[in-house]
Amino acid sequence: MLVANNNDDNLLQDLIIYWTNRAKGYSQTNQDELATDKRKIWQKLILNHAPNKNKLRILDIGTGPGFLAITLALAGHEVTAVDVTQAMIDQAKDNASQYRVKVNFVLSDVHCLPFDDNHFDLIVLRNVTWNLSNPTVAYQEWFRVLNSQGKLLNFDANWYLFLFNKDLYSQYMQDRQNTMNYGIEDHYRQTNTQEMERIAKLLPLSKEIRPEWDMNILQSIGYKNIHIHNDISKIVWDEIEQINYHSTPMFLIAAEKQ
């Protein structure tokens, strides 16, 4: 049985409040992605790494406004999507209806999922693990619900490591300056930066060097055939995103359950 401590509960509530406040704006970002070639780019990238089945049973972890869930449902797969924030689930449902796709949206803490063992062929997540209060427990739970021969695809970055690393902080500030130099929107100005940094300082992965940390944890849990792609930014980000997040490239972790 997985039991959260009071600190985890408090942190989870802070995260829910933060992402509730961001749900509408984040949903607009997802809608913009769905309306461009990004949808096809992500679809191709994920399915190129997915198990070879005509119709996959997919779980989208931390779906937010539903970008990955909708993208994969449009490719004809059976998709379940979970998020701990009701406001995100509401946005995701609205977005899915716009594209007339069926997705099973479930309100759930991703550390403790309401699904049977060995249930999904593929688990996908994007920019989720970094803001978990107990990522080790989460990785164990995802392993439980994966089928034998199932696959995990985790897209993430070292978000907020700059709070604990002077060199990275300098690079982060240079990114902010570069947005001004190029006359483009600074994505960090769209958020409650002070509150997110306060929360990030409490999150365990903000201090870790990733994806090396993930590799070690995944191996200890029993994942096999773990492959790391340290920088997929030029594949999945547009030019504005690459300028905004140059110091924090996105990585891909692919792992299997055997």
The C-alpha angle 127, 247, 201, rounded to 5 degrees, equals 60
Q: Classify domain 6-257 by CATH architecture.
A: 3-Layer(aba) Sandwich (3.40)
| Burial of residue 137, with CB atoms counted within 10 A of its CB: 0-12 exposed, 13-18 middle, 19 or more buried | middle
Q: Span 173-201, mean pLDDT?
A: 94
pLDDT at residue 6 in the model: 60
pLDDT tens-place string over residues 224-241: 999 999 999 999 999 999
In a 3-state reduction of DSSP, which class is residue 8?
A: helix
pLDDT tens-place string over residues 62-87: 999 999 999 999 999 999 999 999 99
In a 3-state reduction of DSSP, which class is residue 144?
A: helix
Distant-in-sequence, close-in-space partners of 236: CB < 8 Å, separation ≥ 6: 38, 41, 42, 45, 155, 250
Point out the least confidently predicted range of 8-12, 60-64, 145-149, 197-201: 8-12
Choose among 50, 47, 60: nearest CA to 92: 60
User: Which residue ranges make up each domain of the chain?
Assistant: 6-257
pLDDT tens-place string over residues 154-171: 999 999 999 999 999 999
- Flag whether pLDDT at 4 surpasses 80: no
Question: Measured between alpha carbons, how far is residue 228 from residues 89, 115, 137 in Å?
Answer: 30, 27, 21
Percent of the chain, pLDDT > 70? 98
Structure tokens at 198: 């306060």
Answer whether the bond into residue 211 is a cis peptide, omega within 30°: yes
- Flag whether pLDDT at 201 surpasses 90: yes
Predicted TM-score (pTM) of this structure: 0.96
Give CA–CA dist 48/42, Å, rounded. Answer: 10
- Flag whether pLDDT at 190 surpasses 90: no
Give CA–CA dist 203/195, Å, rounded. Answer: 13
pLDDT band at 90 (very low <50, low <70, confident <90, very high): very high
pLDDT band at 189 (very low <50, low <70, confident <90, very high): confident
- Flag whether pLDDT at 93 surpasses 90: yes
pLDDT tens-place string over residues 24-43: 999 999 999 999 999 999 99
Cβ neighbours, 10 Å, residue 65 = 29
